[in-house]
C-alpha cells in the first residue's frame, strides 16, 4: 500500500535524523546512537534534517457536493468542498472549505433484470450508477492545484457523524475522563457541522417536491447536496519541505498525552459479515496531535489493534455487531507504545442507521419506518380482501397498489377478478413483512478510509518497545 510505504519511509527518516552532523550532512549512524534511540533515549538532537511536506499517493480526501445536481450527461461539471483538513507531517496543507472541481465520467444503467422489476414497480427511470472524478483544488489563497483522483467505490452517499453513547461512571477520577470524552465528541460534532455549512440544504417545500417527482413513473435523477465522495489521490501532492528541529525530533520520542482524542482513517476494511475475532486492524492518524504547542504525533502515526467481537447479521431481521480496539501506537521515532484506544465517533452513511456504545461496539439498527410501511401494506391487503365482487373498483386498486404500485393498480382494475386483487394485496403485504421482519438483517460495515475519532489512554506497565525498521 502506497500509504504504508510512505509512512515506513518517514519512520526511517526520523531514525536517521540523529545521524546528521551540525551542517546538515548525513553521516553513517553510530551503532551506539542507534541503540540508544531504539531504547527510547531522549537525548536531544543537535542537528537538523529536512522533512518533506508530501501528501502521499493513496490518501483519500473527503469532498462534499455544495449543491443538488441534476444528472444530465457524461462530462457534466460538479463542484464541492473539502470537509476534513489534510496535513503533511505537522502542517495544514489543504484546509476545510477548499473548493474541489471535477466532472461526471460515466453513467451506468441498470441491468435488464432490474429494469423489469423496476417497471413492475412503476419505475421507468431506474437510477444509474454515477462515476465522478475531481481534477483540481482551489485553495483559500486562490492557488489552483491540479490533482488526479479516483473516487473510492461505495462512496457518494449522504454521511452523518455518529458518536458513542456516554457510559455511566462513578464519582471521582472517572468523572474527569468522562467529561473530557464528552467535550471531545461535542467538538467533533461542531467541526462536522461547520464543515457542512457550505452545503445548500434543501427546504421542506423542496423536499416535498423532490419526493413527489420521485414517485412519478419517469423522473430525472439527482445527486443530493451534501453527498460525500472519498477522492483517493493517484499522485502525491508536494508542498515543499521544512526543517526538523531538535525540539521537534525530541518531542516525537515522548509519550502521547494520556486521555487524548485523535482523528484517524481506517486502513483495514471491516464487516460483521466477514471479519473474525482476532483479525488485525490498523488506522492511520489523519491529523497531528499537539500537547500545548509541542508536536507529539504527526499525521501518519499508526494505531494497531484487533477485532474482539463479531456477530454477523442473521435472518429474522437480526442485525450485525462489531467491536474492535487498538492496543499499539507506532510512534514516528519507531517506538511501539502500548495504549488502550477505543472508538469514540465514526462517519457512517445515514442509511446504515449505525449506533456506537460506550465500549467501542458498533451495531446496525433497523429503521423505525418499517412498522409504518408494513402497517400500510397490511391495511391495503385487508381492504383488497373486503371487496364486493367486480363492483368494488377501489378495493381491487388497493390490492394492485400493494403489489406493484401504479402497474398493480392498472392490472387490479382492468382484470375483473376479485381473487387477483386479493392475491396482489397479499403479495404486497407478504413482501413487506418478509423484507422488514424475516429477511437477513443489516451488517456493520466500515470501508477502508472510514473517518474515526479515537480516544487514547496510555497503559501503565513495562516501557514501550521499539518496532523493527
Residue whose C-alpha cell is 535524523: 17
Q: What is the model's pTM?
A: 0.69
Q: How far is CA 57 from the centre of its chain?
A: 19
b/e code 19-55 from CB counts within 10 Å (16+ = b): bbeeeeeeeeeeeeeeeebbebeeeebebbbebbbbb
- What pLDDT score was predicted for residue 237? 93
- What pLDDT is recorded for position 256? 61
- Lowest-confidence pick of 104-118, 131-145, 372-386: 372-386
User: What does the pLDDT average to over 93-98?
Assistant: 93
Residue 83, pLDDT above cutoff 60: yes
Of the given ranges (139-143, 342-346, 450-454, 465-469), which has the lowest mean pLDDT? 465-469
pLDDT digits (tens, 9 = 90+) for 328-378: 888 766 677 888 888 888 888 877 788 888 777 888 887 766 666 666 656
**Which residue's entry shows cell 458518536?**
163
Angle between helices 418-433 and 369-385 (to 10 degrees): 160
What percentage of the chain carries pLDDT values higher than 90? 22
The most confident of 228-232, 433-437, 463-467, by mean pLDDT: 228-232
Kindly provide the b/e burial profile for residues 402-428, where b requires at least 16 CB atoms within 10 angstroms of the residue's own CB.
bbbbbbbbebbeeeeebebbbbbbbbb
Measure the CA–CA gap between 265 and 286, rounded to whole angstroms. 6
Sign (positive or negative) of CA dihedral 15, 302, 248, 140: positive
pLDDT at 432: 67
Smallest Cα–Cα separation from 445: which of 350, 320, 341? Answer: 320
Mean pLDDT of the chain: 74
- Range name among 25-39, 119-133, 175-189 with the lowest pLDDT average: 25-39
DSSP letter for each residue of 211-248: HHHHTSSS---EE-TTEEEEEEESS-EEEEEEEE-HHH
User: Is pLDDT above 70 for 159?
Assistant: yes
Which tens digits make up the pLDDT trace of 31-69?
A: 333 333 333 333 333 345 788 889 988 888 999 999 999
Task: Place 148 in a pLDDT band, splitting at 50, 70 and 90.
Answer: very high
Gyration radius (Cα) of the chain, Å: 27
DSSP string, 258-326: TTEEEEEEESS-EETTT--TT-EEEEEESS-EEETTEEEE-TT-EEEEEEEEEE--BTTTBPPEEEEEE
> What sign for the dihedral angle of Cα 416, 418, 420, 424?
positive
**Cβ contact 106:91 at 8 Å:** no
Q: Is 429:404 a contact under the CB 8 Å cutoff? A: no
Q: Which segments of 37-191 are extended strands (E)?
A: 49-55, 60-65, 69-70, 77-82, 86-88, 91-94, 99-108, 129-138, 144-146, 149-151, 157-163
pLDDT score of 219: 82
- Of the two residues 88 and 379, the one the predictor is more confident about is 88
Q: Are 96 and 85 in contact (CB under 8 A)?
A: yes
Q: pLDDT-derived band of residue 231, with 50, 70 and 90 as boundaries?
A: very high
The sign of the CA dihedral 192, 193, 195, 199 is: positive
Amino acid at each position: 500500500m502506497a500509504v504504508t510505504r510512505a509512512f515506513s519511509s518517514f519512520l526511517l527518516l526520523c531514525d536517521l535524523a540523529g545521524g546528521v552532523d551540525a551542517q546538515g550532512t548525513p553521516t553513517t549512524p553510530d551503532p551506539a546512537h542507534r541503540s540508544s534511540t531504539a531504547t527510547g533515549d531522549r537525548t536531544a538532537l543537535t542537528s537538523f534534517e529536512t522533512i518533506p511536506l508530501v501528501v502521499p499517493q493513496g490518501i483519500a480526501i473527503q469532498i462534499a457536493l455544495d449543491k443538488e445536481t441534476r444528472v444530465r450527461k457524461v462530462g457534466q461539471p460538479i463542484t464541492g468542498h473539502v470537509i476534513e483538513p489534510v496535513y503533511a507531517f505537522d502542517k495544514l496543507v489543504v484546509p476545510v472549505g477548499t473548493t474541489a472541481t471535477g466532472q461526471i465520467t460515466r453513467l451506468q444503467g441498470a441491468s435488464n433484470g432490474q429494469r423489469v422489476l423496476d417497471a413492475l414497480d412503476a419505475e421507468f427511470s431506474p437510477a444509474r450508477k454515477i462515476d465522478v472524478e475531481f481534477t483540481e483544488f482551489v485553495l483559500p489563497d486562490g492557488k489552483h492545484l491540479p490533482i488526479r483522483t479516483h473516487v473510492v467505490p461505495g462512496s457518494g452517499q449522504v454521511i452523518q457523524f455518529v458518536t458513542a453513547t456516554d457510559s455511566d461512571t462513578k464519582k471521582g477520577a472517572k468523572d474527569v475522563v468522562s467529561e473530557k470524552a464528552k467535550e471531545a465528541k461535542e467538538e467533533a460534532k461542531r467541526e462536522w457541522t461547520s464543515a457542512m455549512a457550505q452545503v445548500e440544504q434543501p427546504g421542506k417545500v423542496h423536499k416535498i417536491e423532490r419526493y413527489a417527482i420521485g414517485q412519478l413513473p419517469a423522473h430525472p435523477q439527482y445527486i443530493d447536496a451534501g453527498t460525500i465522495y472519498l477522492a483517493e489521490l493517484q499522485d502525491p501532492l508536494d508542498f515543499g519541505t521544512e526543517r526538523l528541529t531538535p525540539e521537534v525530533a525530541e518531542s516525537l520520542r515522548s509519550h502521547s498525552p494520556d486521555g487524548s482524542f485523535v482523528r484517524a482513517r481506517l486502513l483495514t476494511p471491516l464487516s460483521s459479515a466477514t471479519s473474525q475475532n482476532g483479525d488485525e486492524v490498523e488506522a492511520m492518524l489523519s491529523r497531528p496531535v499537539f500537547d500545548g504547542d509541542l508536536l507529539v504525533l504527526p499525521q501518519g502515526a499508526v494505531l494497531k489493534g484487533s477485532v474482539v467481537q463479531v456477530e454477523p447479521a442473521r435472518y429474522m431481521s437480526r442485525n450485525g455487531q462489531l467491536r474492535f480496539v487498538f492496543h499499539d501506537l507506532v510512534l514516528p521515532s519507531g517506538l511501539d507504545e502500548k495504549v488502550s484506544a477505543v472508538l469514540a465517533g465514526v462517519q457512517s452513511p445515514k442509511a446504515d442507521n449505525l449506533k456506537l456504545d460506550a465500549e467501542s461496539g458498533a451495531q446496525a439498527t433497523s429503521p423505525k419506518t418499517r412498522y409504518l410501511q408494513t402497517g400500510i401494506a397490511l391495511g391495503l391487503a385487508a381492504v383488497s380482501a373486503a371487496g364486493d365482487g367486480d363492483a368494488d373498483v377501489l378495493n381491487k386498486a388497493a390490492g394492485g397498489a400493494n403489489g406493484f404500485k401504479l402497474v398493480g393498480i392498472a392490472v387490479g382494475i382492468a382484470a375483473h377478478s376479485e381473487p387477483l386483487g386479493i392475491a396482489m394485496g397479499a403479495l404486497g403485504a407478504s413482501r413487506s413483512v418478509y423484507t422488514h421482519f424475516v429477511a437477513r438483517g443489516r451488517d456493520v460495515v466500515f470501508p477502508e478510509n472510514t473517518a474515526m475519532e479515537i480516544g487514547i489512554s496510555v497503559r501503565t506497565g513495562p516501557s514501550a518497545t521499539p518496532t523493527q525498521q
